[in-house]
Structure 1
């Protein structure tokens, strides 16, 4: 199959990220972290609307009718998509050098999210929120791209500056992880793994920051395919549409020089890719 990404929205986001497909609404949600926006995109009409949440928005997941759970700089909150109201759940961090990053819900409705250090220090953590807060991992640089295998036995976590995607044993009943090992090592590359998604066959699709591509890996971590992107900084991806065969890809323009922008003119836009596989549905909090 000839994989050719299509530019579907001239968004010019600073840091487009954390996309998920809402199967009930048939809408794509995604965040622009530094512009403090949660976007709601309708591929059928091309309409994109956004909610200004007043602070960086680092992760987003569905949480019931007209409600999302979001991670902001130091807190988690609910966003009411009927009126744009943000209601804080819990303040967690108070270190100005730390902010939250990528997050998703597991099949039991628990919200997983990580944190990162702006100074590149190993101060990041991985959290799970299920009505109470649990710390599952420490010593991360940038907790990023996470997901679960289709059989729900393996959890994936990316540490972007280390150019590593880890695999853990996952206990679905308790929500615990164990036996961390390196699944994908990209230290020989010049780019960094960012957000990821997992397809029905257990393959990992990872967006490569500064890599001009999305890479598909098999469940054992072997590279299968590189999909070339017309932008330097793909950030994350998720499967969507009714059959979950369309890969939606967010991108970033932040930090690019004027010359780099000229080479990567559509940076910050939203892209789609028709694939010959399908993804797993986004999971709701609660």
Structure 2
């Protein structure tokens, strides 16, 4: 079902691979990354100003951990970003023995644990990790190809994880106390479609909003995995989304221009830009 949404291009960013939007409720800013340009961006929706930090490496995902610090998943490890100085502070190297891999999507859970996954040019060689506040690292899942869109249900009993090339979104049992996941099962199967599930966000009703790479849209699935809404977009490769704004009802959507032919860019002229859609739902604050 396709609903009539008003799509607004809020930033003519022309990013190569815009990704990982994170809303900062304290400052009313949107952080997002341009992976291949090594940039962590900070967008102010009120002024339209977009500042960026060049972090000197591929940056796949970020999360806010304090008023002046982010945690980042770089190509082969984690680092902190000091937002006052721009300093990048390395934490740990991971998968450095797999030069073809790089880290991709990630998020913090409510307990402050940072979940992040890798992507690999070779099938089933990517993994999902969890980095805890005490500095411990945990391998959570293996056998992935592109670990992508992840999140938690409102009751904190279900964890979702996307493997993009497989065109599948999986659900797991989640133990919020221990951070363990178990009993993987198929949640959404898009096998046979011409597009791929990418980054996601979850609202307070437990609906999953998934950006569809090469699909020109964001699809909303209910907690049963059924499509209930679709936001059609003017760009071929939406990459991820998150809710923000004062009332947390604005869906911000990142996009990519990387890999598009000249003909495709003509059809998808605003590829790489940042979009906003007003909705009647509220985000889930993990």
TM-score computed with the length of structure 2 as normaliser = 0.97
1:272 matches 2:282: no
TM superposition shift of 1:188: 2.3
RMSD: 0.8
Give the Cα separation in 1 of the matches to 2:36 and 2:268: 19
Mapping 1:168-183, distance limit 5 Å:
168-183=172-187
TM superposition shift of 1:226: 1.2
The SS at the match of 2:206 is: coil
1:201-223 superposed Cα distances (whole Å, 9 cap, x missing partner): 00000000000000000011000
TM superposition shift of 1:280: 1.6
Mapping 1:1-286, distance limit 5 Å:
2-94=4-96, 95-117=98-120, 119-130=121-132, 131-281=135-285, 283=286
Greater relative contact order (Cα < 8 A, sep 6+):
1
The SS at the match of 2:265 is: helix
Give the Cα separation in 1 of the matches to 2:227 and 2:161: 17
1:93-126 superposed Cα distances (whole Å, 9 cap, x missing partner): 1111111110000010000000110x24211100
Give the Cα separation in 2 of the matches to 1:251 and 1:23: 22
TM superposition shift of 1:41: 0.2
Give the Cα separation in 2 of the matches to 1:156 and 1:136: 13
The SS at the match of 1:31 is: strand
Give the Cα separation in 1 of the matches to 2:269 and 2:129: 36
TM superposition shift of 1:132: 0.5
The SS at the match of 1:112 is: strand
1:235-271 superposed Cα distances (whole Å, 9 cap, x missing partner): 0000001110000000000000000000000000000
Give the Cα separation in 2 of the matches to 1:189 and 1:276: 28
Give the Cα separation in 2 of the matches to 1:169 and 1:89: 29
TM-score computed with the length of structure 1 as normaliser = 0.97
TM superposition shift of 1:157: 0.1
Extract unaligned runs of 5+ from structure 1: none
Give the Cα separation in 2 of the matches to 1:120 and 1:251: 24
1:72-107 superposed Cα distances (whole Å, 9 cap, x missing partner): 000100001111100000011111111111000001
The SS at the match of 2:284 is: coil
Extract unaligned runs of 5+ from structure 2: none
TM superposition shift of 1:25: 1.1
Give the Cα separation in 1 of the matches to 2:67 and 2:40: 16
Give the Cα separation in 2 of the matches to 1:69 and 1:210: 29
1:43-81 superposed Cα distances (whole Å, 9 cap, x missing partner): 011000000000000000001121000000001000011
Superposition misfits of 4+ residues, deviation over 2 angstroms: none
